[in-house]
A and B are shown apart, each in its own frame.
Chain A
Amino acid sequence: MRRSIIFWIGAVAFLVIILLMTQIIGNEYPFFAGYVILQFIVLAVAWTILGGYAGYVNFGTSAFFGVGVYTAVLLTKAADAPLIVQIAAAAMVGALLGLGVGLLTLRMQGIFFSIATIALTIVIETSVTNWRYLGGAAGIQLQRPPVTPPFHSYVQMLVFVQALLVVLAVAIARYIQNSWIGRGLQALRDDELAAECTGVPTLRLKLLACVISGALMCAAGAPGAMYLQYADPASAFNLNYSVSVLAMALIGGTAHWAGPVIGAILLGVTQQLLAVTISSEVNVLVLGIMLVLFVVAAPQGLIGLFRKLVHGRAEGKA
């Protein structure tokens, strides 16, 4: 109970700080960079719900992200829908897509599930590429509507919206982790057959994890259309999103919701710095090397390292 209170105080404080920053800081650039990092936090936390708790490695993050972007594009083009409607619709589409993916693939184990999610990404990307109305391969330009007060610029508003999504995602992940859902997912992760035998409704739980994870990923993608004022299939469905998000979650550690948050902040900031100071190629190189290093040397991520450190000290004292 007390932990919950502390958590919510922290969440509100985080939102207030972001809101204050949008009022005080005039320079746009920090918000451009900050938006990307917040977006990665949502994606990494959403990924962990299925990939970490349930142990199903999803390589289709870019599919969900891209579908979120293009849901927003479609609604803007067809109905000039406001941002909140775009995000809500994207979340719904994401939930449906998650359900579809779950029904289609969750009876597959290990690598087959991962390969199937990559396949799904490419199939959806190709379909969007061939959808003339959404601009096809060349992409589509979007016009931002006027900004609503109290924000001064649209990007600042998007940052605040994405911060709200971060709080939502973390709250959901935290709830799942501490409830019977999380325990059930963990049980099926360790031994699916044993979990099924002891009465854990494994398939329903996996579907639930897929739906929640998918809805959050799509919601995180939706504001991206307005952020760039442009969308094209090759970048919206880029496999780099899948690998970045996977790397963030694994580097942070997937046993606790704080893992993906730490991983996303760490890797997100590094990427922003590298992309600005050196080049985007080196950026991807660093991503790959960090992923391999952590998977090989610190399989439980930073959270695992931290726990080991604390445990080690406790043992030393006793």
Chain B
Amino acid sequence: MDLLLDAVVIGVLLGCFYAAVSIGLSVSFGLLDVPHVAHPAFLVMASYGVFFLNDRFDIDPLVAGLLITPLLFLFGLAAYRLYYETFERRGTDAAVRGIAFFFGVAFIIEVLIILQFGVDQRSVTASYIGKAWRFGDMRIPLRLVVAFAVASALTILLALYLSKTFMGRAIRAVAQDEEAVRLMGANPVRIKQWAFGVATAVLGVAGALLIIVAPVDPTLDRAYIGRTFCVVVMAGLGSMSGTLIAAIILGVAETIVLTLFGASWAPAISFALLLGVLAVRPQGLLGRRS
């Protein structure tokens, strides 16, 4: 019983971390309908950026994550521009070739990381990594607590940005009815480009969390395809509160299965949940579509 309680607590912490790595996809795929399978690859790339700054200049990983955020924003703007010019504008079967395109991009990023940093696992150093809090018998790694706090803040900030600011509301307006936005005299493409930039910029801090929680290796993005898409689809496309709930469900499910059946089943959990959601309730928990 104690073990199970342990698993639930750790699962909730882990879930909030999953929300932080998925929230960008919740914007790019959930709101903008971009089939962004390269999102986890962008995430791992950000982690390696953080690793580089931490390893070379001894900068705290979270600060490093903030430092690379502007770069990622620009990268996101450019990536969306390329995607828009080559697929959305031409219209026909954009989805089919769009997926292939992002898969190709993910592969290229993977290999470039391997060529630059090698295939070994990499991790960062910071004062809060390696320590733990104890409550009676329960032992909670401090790195998870840090990830939990930062991830919650990041998720809430982005949710607030989308609901309270002018630009955030514009992004949601584009998601709801692009034609109407056009009729109001706004340029939906520029709004979407901005939104994609924001979705990519968030990966700076998310990538820092990824490498704080556990060491990263170049092919880690494959596992996170399952996790991020599971969270976003389960949430109901584009729902920010749904993202948090779905991520916590995933986190708890993973730690419980891990405790009961062992680590070798871990990779399948997110994908199995995803399959289940797609088969039973494709609109997700708090879906915007019927």
Interface of A with B (CB < 8 Å)?
55, 57, 59, 104-105, 108, 110-112, 114-116, 118-120, 122-123, 125-127, 129-130, 137, 239, 243, 246-247, 250, 281-282, 284-285, 287-289, 291-292, 295-296, 299
Contact = CB atoms under 8 A, between A and B. Distances in A.
B95 A111 contact: yes
Size bracket, chain B contacts: 35 or more
B80 to A, nearest CB: 14
B84 interface: no
Q: Across chains A and B, which 9 residue pairs bring their CB atoms closest together, nearest first?
A: A288-B107, A126-B268, A291-B104, A119-B271, A292-B104, A288-B108, A110-B95, A285-B111, A111-B35
Contacts of A55: 93, 96
B105 interface: yes
A56 to B, nearest CB: 8
Contacts of A285: 107-108, 111-112, 115
Nearest to A122: B271
Interface string B99-118: 11101111110111011000
Given A118-B271, A120-B271, 17 more contacts: A55-B93, A57-B96, A105-B278, A110-B95, A111-B98, A111-B99, A115-B225, A115-B278, A116-B274, A119-B275, A123-B271, A127-B268, A247-B100, A285-B112, A288-B106, A288-B111, A289-B108
B281 interface: no
13 contacts: A57-B96, A57-B100, A59-B99, A110-B35, A111-B99, A112-B282, A123-B268, A123-B271, A250-B97, A285-B108, A288-B107, A295-B100, A296-B82
Interface of B: 29, 35, 37, 82, 86, 90, 93, 95-101, 103-108, 110-112, 114-115, 222, 225-226, 229, 233, 264-265, 267-268, 271-272, 274-275, 278-279, 282
A59 to B, nearest CB: 8
Nearest to A115: B229
B266 to A, nearest CB: 8
A115 to B, nearest CB: 5
A292 B97 contact: no
A44 to B, nearest CB: 14
